[in-house]
């Protein structure tokens, strides 16, 4: 049976994530220890002890990618011959997907997303940026309201197409708050600011996109196994395509829903690594099964299920 591997993005972090892998999977433990040494980030402290850094983008991003990769190596430790058709990720998760499919080394991925978080924070430190989840409106209605905001000189952009009836918009926090009532008047069940200090996947991150593009140039391999792009919802598998698509990724909306719909007929199931956020979204998008692997018990249950 064929499957696609899916990887969560920022917002999936939680204290203690990856601990079961660290304590019970030698390969996962080795990966965390190597990542700590390579990046000079104390991941044991960051992931397993109370701290204020886990929710800061520059640390959140490498923590999530590392946890996803620990889950992946723990699975391979149990089943070395496990194979997949392609990978995809939600926002930040696209970098986990790229690492697993050989676009760059695991440790390079950790450093890359650490810098990605710094660049995003730097861009948004100059402005009061934010993100807002909109529930209960169609894509078209949200897009029309974003266009209206643009005409009015306001910065509000569709950022994440998560599933039908759930879109995240990004922009200046003051403009988002101004439009909260407009979203509700249009029929939104909810329009709620998220606990984010960055405005991901919109033009406010142009400088971060340019900086990240320069980083990618030096680490991307010439070719790799297919990865589904957040920007196009289609596969790509070489450095040239990756440089174009990943430069655009920070300033373009995440087409997650579209990616699942485009690929669901090519696989029997999806497997999420390190969290269960995407499993919840997938239930609203596709009838195909999604397995979430957040500890070794879930890996064992998954392997029994696919026998």
CA 158 and chain centroid, separation: 16
Count of C-beta atoms within a 10 Å radius of residue 92: 28
Can you give the pLDDT at residue 37?
Answer: 97
Angle at 283 between CA 198 and CA 18, to 5 degrees: 55
CB 21 within 8 A of CB 71: yes
Assess whether 57 and 188 both reside in one domain: no
Assess whether 294 and 262 both reside in one domain: yes
Domain for residue 213, yes or no?
Answer: yes
Q: Report strand pairing: 223-228 vs 86-89.
A: parallel
How far is the C-alpha of 34 from the C-alpha of 252, rounded, in Å?
Answer: 33
Assess whether 120 and 133 both reside in one domain: no
Assess whether 54 and 134 both reside in one domain: no
Which is the catalytic residue, given 91, 155, 209, 252?
A: 91
Can you give the pLDDT at residue 196?
Answer: 81
The pLDDT profile of the chain, 307 residues, written as one tens digit per residue, is 799 999 999 888 999 999 999 999 999 999 999 999 999 999 999 999 999 999 888 999 999 999 999 999 999 999 999 999 999 999 999 999 999 999 999 999 999 999 999 999 999 988 999 999 999 999 999 999 999 999 999 999 999 999 999 999 999 999 999 999 999 999 999 999 998 878 999 999 999 999 999 999 999 999 999 999 999 999 999 999 999 999 999 999 999 999 999 999 999 999 999 999 999 999 999 999 999 999 999 999 999 999 8
Assign residue 90 the CATH number of its domain.
Answer: 3.40.366.10
Assess whether 169 and 213 both reside in one domain: no
3-state helix, strand, coil in the chain (%, to 5): 50, 20, 30
How far is the C-alpha of 74 from the C-alpha of 70, rounded, in Å?
Answer: 6
- Whole-model pTM: value is 0.95
Can you give the pLDDT at residue 100?
Answer: 98
Domain for residue 198, yes or no?
Answer: no
Among residues 137, 168, 193, which one ends one of the domains?
Answer: 193
Assess whether 17 and 61 both reside in one domain: yes
SS3 55: coil
Q: What are phi and psi of 203, to 5 degrees?
A: -60, -10
- 201 noted as active-site residue: yes
Which is the catalytic residue, given 201, 229, 252, 259?
A: 201
Domain for residue 70, yes or no?
Answer: yes
Assess whether 100 and 17 both reside in one domain: yes
Among residues 162, 193, 224, which one ends one of the domains?
Answer: 193
CB 31 within 8 A of CB 71: no
Assess whether 134 and 102 both reside in one domain: no
Sign of CA dihedral 100, 103, 106, 110: negative
Domain for residue 88, yes or no?
Answer: yes
How far is the C-alpha of 140 from the C-alpha of 51, rounded, in Å?
Answer: 41
Assess whether 166 and 265 both reside in one domain: no
Can you give the pLDDT at residue 195?
Answer: 82
Among residues 193, 225, 240, which one ends one of the domains?
Answer: 193
Domain for residue 176, yes or no?
Answer: yes
Can you give the pLDDT at residue 256?
Answer: 98
Domain hosting 143: range is: 129-193
Assign residue 138 the CATH number of its domain.
Answer: 3.30.70.250
Assess whether 115 and 146 both reside in one domain: no
Question: CA nearest 120: which of 105, 106, 131?
Answer: 131
- 91 noted as active-site residue: yes
Total count of domains within the chain: 2
Can you give the pLDDT at residue 279?
Answer: 98
Can you give the pLDDT at residue 175?
Answer: 98
Domain for residue 10, yes or no?
Answer: yes
Can you give the pLDDT at residue 215?
Answer: 95
Can you give the pLDDT at residue 59?
Answer: 95
Can you give the pLDDT at residue 21?
Answer: 98
Assess whether 260 and 275 both reside in one domain: yes
CB 137 within 8 A of CB 184: no
Can you give the pLDDT at residue 26?
Answer: 98
How far is the C-alpha of 89 from the C-alpha of 273, rounded, in Å?
Answer: 10
Assess whether 68 and 164 both reside in one domain: no
């Amino acid at each position: 049976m064929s499957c696609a591997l899916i990887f969560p993005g920022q917002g999936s972090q939680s204290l203690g994530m990856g601990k079961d892998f660290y304590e019970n999977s030698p390969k996962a433990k080795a990966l965390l220890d190597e990542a700590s040494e390579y990046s000079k980030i104390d991941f044991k402290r960051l992931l397993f002890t109370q701290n204020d850094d886990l929710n800061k983008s520059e640390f959140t991003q490498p923590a999530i990618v590392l946890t996803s990769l620990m889950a992946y190596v723990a699975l391979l430790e149990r089943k070395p011959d496990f194979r997949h058709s392609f990978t995809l990720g939600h926002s930040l998760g696209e970098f986990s997907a790229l690492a697993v499919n050989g676009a760059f080394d695991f440790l390079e991925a950790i450093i890359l997303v650490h810098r990605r978080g710094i660049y995003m924070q730097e861009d948004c430190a100059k402005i009061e940026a934010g993100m807002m989840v909109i529930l209960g409106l169609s894509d078209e209605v949200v897009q029309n309201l974003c266009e209206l905001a643009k005409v009015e000189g306001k910065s509000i952009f569709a950022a994440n197409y998560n599933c039908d009836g759930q879109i995240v918009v990004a922009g200046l926090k003051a403009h988002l708050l101004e439009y909260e009532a407009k979203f509700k008047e249009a029929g939104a069940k909810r329009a709620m600011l998220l606990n984010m200090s960055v405005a991901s996947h919109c033009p406010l991150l142009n400088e971060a996109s340019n900086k990240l593009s320069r980083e990618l140039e030096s680490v991307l391999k010439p070719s790799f196994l297919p990865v589904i792009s957040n920007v196009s919802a289609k596969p790509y598998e070489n450095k040239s395509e990756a440089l174009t698509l990943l430069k655009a990724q920070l300033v373009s909306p995440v087409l997650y829903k579209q990616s699942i719909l485009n690929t669901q007929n090519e696989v029997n199931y999806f497997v999420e690594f390190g969290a269960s956020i995407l499993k919840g979204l997938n239930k609203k998008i596709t009838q195909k099964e999604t397995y979430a692997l957040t500890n070794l018990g879930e890996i064992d249950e998954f392997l029994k299920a696919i026998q």
